[in-house]
Amino acid sequence: MSLKLYNSLSRKIEDFVPINPELVTMYTCGPTVYYYQTIGNFRTVILSDIVHRVILFNDYKVRHVSNFTDVGHLNGDHDDILDPNTGEDKIELQARKESKSAKEITDYYIDDYKQSLNQLNIKSRTFTRATEYIKEQIDMIQVLEKKGFTYRTSDGIYFDASKFSAYGDLSGYKANQILEGARVDINSEKRNPNDFALWKFSKPEDNRLQEYESPWGVGFPGWHIECSAMAIKELGVSIDIHIGGEDLRMIHHQNEIAQSECATGEKFANFWVHGAFLQVDGGRMGKSLGNAYTMQDLVANGVDPLAYRYLCLTAHYRSPLNFTWESVNAAQNALHNLYSQVEELKEVKNSEIDSTYHSRFKEALNEDLNLPRALAVVWDMLKSGIPDETKVVTLAEFDKVLGLNLLDHVGFVIPKKVEDLAKTRDAYRKAGIWDKADIIRKEIDSLGYLVEDTKSGYKLKRKI
């Protein structure tokens, strides 16, 4: 069964057919690197990683690019609905707050983000920084200008959305329609509500830390243009899959399509994949609400980052996922149970994979990334009566997509010292010498093992 994906552009599940079967191209809208990323951001990162791995699982090669917004994202879009071309630059604000340069800020938060990606087992991808593609952004704006898609206002060069007839195909909002729920636009020089800045002029009073020469004067690129310029430079004018959180569909991605297709005359992306938001305690996550948790918060509360990854896999990517400390702890317990089951498997080389479980797993993935069902297949296989060695090689295939480090736990051998302690403890118990048995249980515990008493004796487990 071949891969099917829901395409937000057609609003249908479609067969995935790559433009070039030799190399699938993917672009994921990455973070604005002015602060620590939230676990919500990482839900979308995990989605893009799953898409990447599922493409590989279907025997394609992939080139995956993801950006860092390190300039030009203004904070006028607090409600994720208004124009991100207004307000203050998020990076400049943070740099002033921390008395650092913009580069020091973005380097620091990029580094922090990459550490989290490692902890979450995100496969390597090519990163691009908006500040390293200023020329490409200017070139693209010039092409748009020559083709008559732009106009000038007192604060910048704008894209005229009414000149792109397909404007609204992705968002559902035509160029001159005001987005539902949006506040009245504060920029009265815009011709249509959905026009957006391609280039913003620096105002002397802003004393900007990051500004660049351009044919229109000193300034900086608007937020949307960076993704189009970087995607086209790195992946070509038409890409297979473009990914982001659902908040980006209405404005950012619609604008990426408009400017890219007007500049190149080609379809920008065949598939648009949008992940539903992570909610916290059933509602919005926000810094002001004190629930915008970071990966550090999870780790400080004893949560293994891979337990968070597991939690994300338990919900379909197009359904909201509610984060609570209970839900992430339950995911951690489930993951540890999985590890315990895997530890009981004995590793024997040279076995064939189980084709029935493998095709059930692949079918679940290929039906629009049904990871909850794929996880159920993993549990079913572990419970089944197929030989251990078959389980191990099949699991190795599954973990290529799950990314849960399952193989690290195969055939774990309890150290002899721990086995001996457990035997001694058992002898004390049988003799009714409970205090000594308890001292040994504590010693076993301090070595990282748990001893569980069973009807037939005892069982040793590694504490994970």
Residues that bind Zn ion (CB under 5 A): 29, 227
Q: Would you say 273 or 342 has its CB closer to ligand AMP?
A: 273
Sequence length of the chain is 464
Q: How far is the CB of 15 from ligand AMP (least distance, A)?
A: 25
> Look-up: residue for tokens 């915008």?
292
Give min distance, CB of 233 to ligand AMP, in A: 20
Contact with ligand AMP (CB under 6 A) among 7, 41, 137, 192:
41
Token duo for residue 81: 């609905």
Within 123-240, residue ranges assigned H as helices are 134-146, 223-235
Residue closer to Zn ion by CB (options 230, 345) is 230
Q: Which stretch binds ligand AMP (CB under 6 A): 13-21, 106-114, 271-279, 372-380?
A: 271-279
- Considering the complex, state which of residue 315 and residue 418 has its C-beta at the smaller distance from ligand AMP: 315
Among left, alpha and beta (phi > 0; psi -120 to 50; other), residue 226 is: alpha
Residue whose structure tokens are 């980006």: 248
Q: Give the Cβ contact number of residue 241 at 10 Å.
A: 24
Instruction: Determine phi and psi for 295, rounding to 5 degrees.
Output: -65, -35
Of 92 and 399, which CB lies nearer to ligand AMP in the complex structure? 92
- Measure the CA–CA gap between 97 and 177, rounded to whole angstroms: 37
d(Cα 92, Cα 74) in Å, to the nearest integer? Answer: 9
Binding mask 277-296 for ligand AMP (x = CB under 6 A): xx------x-----------
Q: With respect to ligand AMP, which residue has the nearer C-beta, 280 or 402?
A: 280
Interface with ligand AMP (CB under 6 A), residue from 32, 137, 171, 228: 32
The structure tokens 């193989």 sit at 407
Does 40 engage in binding with ligand AMP (CB under 6 A)? yes
Instruction: Give which of 159, 100, 176, 101 is closest to 131, Cα–Cα.
Output: 101
Nearer to Zn ion, 29 or 229 (CB): 29
Query: Interface with ligand AMP includes 116 (CB under 6 A)?
Result: no
Count the neighbouring beta carbons within 10 Å of the beta carbon of residue 453. 12
| Least Cβ distance, residue 251 to Zn ion (angstroms) | 10
Largest CA distance in the chain: 92
Rounded distance, CA 381 to CA 299, Å? 30
Which of 18, 31, 84, 221 forms a contact with ligand AMP (CB under 6 A)? 31
* Closer residue to Zn ion (CB): 187 or 259: 259
| Alpha-carbon distances, residue 290 vs 40, 192, 287, 457 (angstroms) | 14, 37, 5, 48
For residue 114, give the amino acid letter.
Answer: K
Task: Kindly state the smallest distance separating residue 188's Cβ from ligand AMP, in Å.
Answer: 27
Q: How far is the CB of 411 from Zn ion (least distance, A)?
A: 44
The shares of helix, strand and coil residues in the chain, as percent rounded to the nearest 5, are 45, 15, 35
Residue 227, contacted partner among ligand AMP, Zn ion, none, CB below 5-8 A by kind = Zn ion
Q: In what order do the strands lie in the sheet with 196-201?
A: 150-153, 156-159, 196-201, 219-221
Binding to ligand AMP (CB under 6 A) within 163-202 occurs at: none
Closest CA to 43 of 290, 328, 272, 256: 328
Closer by beta carbon to ligand AMP, 197 or else 248: 248
Query: Closest separation between CB of residue 89 and Zn ion, Å?
Result: 17
Question: Judged by CB under 6 A, does residue 245 bind ligand AMP?
Answer: yes
CB of 36 to ligand AMP, least distance (A): 11
The least distance separating ligand AMP from the CB of residue 130, rounded to whole angstroms, comes to 11
Instruction: Report in angstroms how near the CB of residue 433 gets to ligand AMP at its nearest.
Output: 55
Q: Binds 43, which of Zn ion, ligand AMP, none (CB < 5 to 8 A, cut-off by type)?
A: ligand AMP
Residue 158: both structure tokens together: 């704008």
> In the complex, which residues of this chain contact ligand AMP (CB under 6 A)?
29, 31-32, 40-41, 43-44, 244-245, 247-248, 275, 277-278, 285
